[in-house]
Amino acid sequence: MSEAKKILDAHVEFELARWTGESRDEQLTEEVAAAFAWLKTVRLNQLFTSAEVVEWCTRYSQEFEVTDQLLAMIGSAARSAYVAASKDDTRIGDLIPEASYDQVASAVLDMQELREMITTQVTTSEVYSRLMSHVVYQAIKSYLQEENLIARRVPGASTLMKMGQSAISTAAPKLEKAVDKQLTAFVNANIQDNIRDSKRYLDKVLDKEVLTVVTNEVWDTNAKSTVAELANMVPVDAIDEFTQAGRDAWIHVRTNEFLTSVLSRVVEDFLKQQGKRKVADILADAGVTPELATNVVIDLTGPVIDKAVADGYFEARIRARLEPFYADYFG
């Protein structure tokens, strides 16, 4: 065996031993510490510009494909989560702190323009118009049949009128339908005034105090509900529809200039605020300490390294890196 081969083998064995057993964690800890020590000397804007970040995100969002296989994996994971949720007896009140709910509700209730926009869109919708028509129609018809002044003030008049209605329906079955048709036409012709009045009424009464009572009632009604009760409101077959819709939405959104515009603004503003700071300080503000990073790296990469060593892959890669040097140096 040549001298170069002996030294190469010894070098490979040395490097491999450093990534085996307890030495593995020591090496990972050392590397993370060295990386953080370096990042304490490097400013964020020395690593990349906002234009580079936006270009990377835009390019990779376009190149990354949500394949049918990936969609199937996402759907499978979603179904597993659904099954777990559908059997979970945890109450919503135990899952979401009431204080957090109150904080979010209060923030939403302060959005007066949003409330007015929602009221406008609801009251101008076709569904609301039909609902109002139905309510007004039923109210008028009920009043004429049962609650009019004659029926209430004249003894026996109510019974007599009902007998008369029955007789008319028997003698002239089309008459009642004609009355209904005329009444429906009258309601439809005047419903827009009622809708405008209802909007003004809602804008007036739906103030923050009233809506706070409503949000409290929503909490009281649902806080005792379990996760399973809410999950079971959604058919399991809908999971596939949701995942497919999410994929289609992402494919559409990623080609829209809106995404690039928003991303550009976010990245530019962030780099303006943080670009001159040291990267390690930014990570610390985000809660990423050397200790946390070390634990995460060991937990995530440790088992992978162990398997790579056991399979011989790690040794092969070390040798592939060192062989060119020894071949050149001793060649």
Least confident span in 14-18, 121-125, 284-288? 121-125
Instruction: Check whether residue 186 and residue 74 sit in a common domain.
Output: no
Answer whether residue 15 is part of any domain.
Answer: yes
Count of beta carbons in the 10 Å neighbourhood of residue 226: 19
In-domain check, residue 190: yes
Q: What pLDDT does 146 receive?
A: 59
The answer to whether residue 294 sits within a structural domain is yes
User: Domain boundary at 171, 197, 225, which?
Assistant: 225
Torsion from C-alpha of 50, 51, 52, 58, nearest 10 degrees: 110
118 with 202, same domain?
A: yes
Whether 324 has a pLDDT exceeding 80, the answer reads yes
Determine the Cα–Cα distance for residues 158 and 83; give it in Å rounded to an integer: 57
Same domain for 127 and 144, yes or no, is yes
72 and 145 part of one domain: no
Same structural domain, 113 and 163:
yes
pTM over 0.95: no
310 and 248 within one domain: yes
Q: Which residue, 163, 197, 225, sits at the end of a domain?
A: 225
pLDDT at 178: 61
Higher pLDDT, 178 or 197: 197
231 is a domain residue: no
* Mean pLDDT calculated for residue range 170-174: 51
**What mean pLDDT value characterizes the chain?**
86
Q: What is the pLDDT of residues 195-218, one digit of tens each?
A: 888 888 887 878 888 889 999 999
Confidence of residue 226 (pLDDT cuts 50, 70, 90): very high
The pLDDT of residue 15 is 95
Paired tokens of 241:
């529809």
User: What pLDDT is attached to residue 169?
Assistant: 52
Contact 28, 302 (CB under 8 A): yes
What is the CA angle 172-173-174, rounded to 5? Answer: 90
**φ, ψ at 148 (rounded to 5°):** -75, 170
Rounded to an integer, what distance in angstroms lies between the CA atom of residue 145 and that of residue 161? 8
Give the structural domain span for 66. 3-91+237-330
Q: Above pLDDT 70, what percent of the chain? A: 86
Q: Is the domain of 249 the same as that of 217?
A: no
User: Could you report the per-residue pLDDT of 252-268, keeping only the tens digit for each?
Assistant: 988 888 888 999 999 99
Listed as own residue / partner, the contacts of 312-320 with beta carbons closer than 8 Å and 24 or more positions apart are 314/16, 314/19, 315/12, 315/16, 318/12, 318/15, 318/16, 319/8, 319/12
Residues 99 and 84 in one domain: no
Burial 183-218, CB ≥16 within 10 A → b, else e: eeeebeeebeeebeebbeebeeebeeeeeeeebeee
* The pLDDT of residue 240 is above 80: yes
Residue 306 has pLDDT above 90, yes or no: yes
Same domain, 67 and 124: no
Radius of gyration over every alpha carbon of the chain, rounded to an integer in angstroms: 36
Query: Is 196 within a domain?
Result: yes
- Per-residue pLDDT band for 174 (boundaries 50, 70, 90) equals low
User: Per the structure, how many domains does the chain have?
Assistant: 2
Whole-angstrom distance, CA of residue 320 vs CA of residue 193: 82
Residues 136, 192 within the same domain:
yes
Which of these three, 225, 260, 292, is where a domain ends? 225
* Structural contact between residues 85 and 227, judged by C-beta atoms closer than 8 angstroms: yes
63 and 186 inside one domain: no
Kindly report the backbone phi and psi dihedral angles of residue 275, in degrees, each rounded to the nearest multiple of 5, phi listed first.
-60, -35
- pLDDT score recorded for residue 122: 85
Bigger pLDDT: 226 vs 176? 226
Q: 117 with 184, same domain?
A: yes
pLDDT in tens, 7-32: 999 999 999 999 998 899 999 999 99
Residue type, position 111, single letter: M
> Does residue 230 fall inside a structural domain?
no
- Among the listed ranges 83-92, 174-183, 292-301, which one has the minimum average pLDDT value? 174-183
Distances (CA, A) of 56 to 87, 160, 261, 279, 288: 42, 83, 14, 19, 24
What sign does the CA torsion over 211, 217, 221, 223 have?
positive
Answer yes or no: is 232 within a domain: no
Q: Residue 252: inside a domain, yes or no?
A: yes
Kindly tell me if the per-residue pLDDT of 168 is higher than 50: no
Residue 172 has pLDDT above 50, yes or no: no
Average pLDDT over residues 261-278: 94
